[in-house]
Amino acid sequence: MKKVYIETYGCQMNVADTETVFSILAQNGYARTSDMDDADIIMANTCSIRDNAEQRIWGRIEQFNLRKKRHPEVLVGILGCMAERLKDELLDSGKVDIVAGPDTYRKLPELIAAAASGTPQIDVMLSREETYADITPVRLDSNGVSAFISIMRGCNNACSYCVVPYTRGAERSRDFSSILREACDCASRGYREITLLGQNVDSYGFEGTGFAELLGMVAGQVPDVRIRFSTSNPQDISEKVLTTMASHPNICHHIHLPVQSGSDRILEKMRRRYTREGYLSKVRRIREIMPDCAITTDVIAGFCSETEQDHRDTLSLFEEVGFDAAYMFYYSERPGTLAARKYPDDVDLATKTRRLEEIITLQNRLSLESNRRDIGKTFTVLVEGRSKKSPDELCGRNSQNKMCVWPDSRHSAGDTLQVRVKDCTQATLLCEEI
């Protein structure tokens, strides 16, 4: 049996896709290995979202080729968004044998077989239909607690900075009956948490069923499993999603709501279809309906033409919302996107990094303040495993997706229990069992 090793980069969608790839390969007689030096086929499932993500992969391709030098029969494959974006450029490097885009994974067995006979293979056709609905992923979560279920693929929003619509193609939603089946399957295998994944989950739609209905159906189908979802788009998240969240005890109170910028002028150039005020009123509505709901975000510093005032608008929006956590980036121009074609990348690197640092410093304080507000509160946590820092402690997340740690010798991964917050750091709630 040939052994396949896959490294996964990028977002949760890629993690879910790697699980699909392993399932397709397993059905075709390939075994999985987590040791690159033991593999006959070495692959990376890649991300193109920022330039440094791609640079890292080029570095890995060099590493893979070190093994190939010693064992010329080893095949190197590049999957995912970078395969889709760079296409032949990867093959032309002479260091890659297989290039497969996100919608061609069913063809991997063929591509591998053909590459093994000496001709490099590429298939980067995007599809309007492929959702891999019938493929039961091989779950890679090692402690068997948390599973991803992809509910849609692609993206129809044309945010001007973003490469995803080019690498993942048009948006398509997966048949809800296959999603419900997969949720039941996860529950029966002991998974305690399911995250529904899509680039813009609020635009899910299959035969008249929207995201709010889907969310309610999944939550009702597996009432003992926690449900999370990502990502919500500020312009699309609906009242009905919020009321569905509030009415099902197993749907977690956490919304990841990427804002990108606090300046209306920049939001318009980014082609985000909401304003600062529109965003803030969504936040207010979320908190009216679920006062304990955590809100996290993504932000880009130094987008084309961003002024100090635009940047201060982002800082003040962060302050006003008081995000519980954030993923923060500086703008990286992606070739072929609308922004790359239309706007000069005119904020210099020093300014971008300085602005990013200012946002990070502010968010670190906001995260700490958010955690401090939780001191004295009790939460239900789902145990993920031993705390990395101290072996006498367990760690797990509360509904708000905050990491909790507490001394515990009785419970194990997958259990739920009540804890009280005694203290905190910026990243963690330090708790005791009650």
Site of interaction with ligand F3S (CB under 6 A): 10-11, 13-14, 47-49, 80-81, 163-164, 167-168
- Are residues 255 and 248 in contact, defined by beta-carbon separation less than 8 angstroms? no
* Residue 254 φ/ψ, nearest 5 degrees: -150, 130
Query: Among 245, 246, 314, 240, which Cα is nearest to 280's?
Result: 314
Q: Does 334 bind ligand SAH (CB under 6 A)?
A: yes
| Mask for 326-345, x = binds ligand SF4 (CB under 6 A) | --------------------
Q: Which of 233, 261, 363, 400 binds ligand SAH (CB under 6 A)?
A: 233
Strand 146-150 versus strand 193-197 pairing type: parallel
- In the complex with ligand F3S, the residue whose CB is nearer, 131 or 398, is 131
Q: What DSSP line would sit under 175-241, residue for residue? A: PHHHHHHHHHHHHHTT--EEEEE-TTGGG-EETTEEHHHHHHHHHHHSTTSEEEEE---TTT--HHH
Stretch that binds ligand SF4, among 153-161, 243-251, 278-286, 346-354 (CB under 6 A): 153-161
Q: In angstroms, how far is CA 62 from the centroid of its own chain?
A: 26
- Are residues 122 and 91 in contact, defined by beta-carbon separation less than 8 angstroms? yes
Interacting partner of 48 out of ligand SF4, ligand F3S, ligand SAH, none (Cβ under 5 to 8 A depending on kind) = ligand F3S
Q: Does 231 bind ligand SAH (CB under 6 A)?
A: yes
* Residue 239 φ/ψ, nearest 5 degrees: -50, -40
- In the complex with ligand SAH, the residue whose CB is nearer, 258 or 396, is 258
Query: Among 52, 59, 108, which Cα is nearest to 80's?
Result: 108
Q: Does 396 bind ligand SF4 (CB under 6 A)?
A: no
Q: Does 431 bind ligand SF4 (CB under 6 A)?
A: no
Catalogue the E-assigned strands of 93-166. Answer: 98-100, 121-123, 146-150, 152-153
Q: Which of 162, 212, 227, 421 binds ligand SF4 (CB under 6 A)?
A: 162
Binding-site size for ligand SAH (CB under 6 A) equals 17
Classify residue 415 as exposed, middle or buried by CB count within 10 Å of its CB (0-12, 13-18, 19+): middle
Query: Residue 155 CB, nearest distance to ligand SF4 (Å)?
Result: 3
Give buried/exposed letters for 261-285 (b at 16+ CB in 10 A, else e). bbbbebbebbebebebeebbebbee
Q: Does 395 bind ligand SAH (CB under 6 A)?
A: no
Other Cβ atoms less than 10 A from the Cβ of 144: the count is 14
Other Cβ atoms less than 10 A from the Cβ of 432: the count is 13
Query: Residue 344 CB, nearest distance to ligand SAH (Å)?
Result: 14
Query: Residue 198 CB, nearest distance to ligand SAH (Å)?
Result: 8
Query: Among 189, 156, 188, which Cα is nearest to 173's?
Result: 156
Stretch that binds ligand SF4, among 32-40, 160-168, 206-214, 357-365 (CB under 6 A): 160-168
DSSP state of 28: T
Q: Which of 258, 262, 396, 414 binds ligand SAH (CB under 6 A)?
A: 258
- In the complex with ligand F3S, the residue whose CB is nearer, 13 or 267, is 13
- In the complex with ligand SAH, the residue whose CB is nearer, 274 or 329, is 329
Q: How far is Cα 293 from Cα 426, in angstroms, rounded to an integer? A: 18
Q: Does 203 bind ligand SF4 (CB under 6 A)?
A: no
- In the complex with ligand SF4, the residue whose CB is nearer, 332 or 399, is 332
Query: Residue 8 CB, nearest distance to ligand SAH (Å)?
Result: 16
Stretch that binds ligand SF4, among 85-93, 152-160, 320-328, 412-420 (CB under 6 A): 152-160
Site for ligand SF4 in 209-268 (CB under 6 A): 233
Query: Residue 347 CB, nearest distance to ligand SF4 (Å)?
Result: 19
Q: How far is Cα 139 from Cα 193, in angstroms, rounded to an integer? A: 13
Q: Does 98 bind ligand SF4 (CB under 6 A)?
A: no
Q: Does 421 bind ligand SAH (CB under 6 A)?
A: no
Strand, helix or coil at 47?
Answer: coil
Structural tokens at position 426: 């910026």
Q: Does 317 bind ligand SAH (CB under 6 A)?
A: no
Query: Among 53, 49, 118, 121, which Cα is nearest to 90's?
Result: 121
Query: Residue 331 CB, nearest distance to ligand SAH (Å)?
Result: 5
- In the complex with ligand F3S, the residue whose CB is nearer, 86 or 383, is 86
Catalog residues that contact ligand SF4 under the rule CB under 6 A.
155, 157, 159, 162, 164-165, 199-200, 233
Catalog residues that contact ligand SAH under the rule CB under 6 A.
49-50, 161-162, 164, 199-200, 231, 233, 258, 260, 298, 300, 329, 331-332, 334
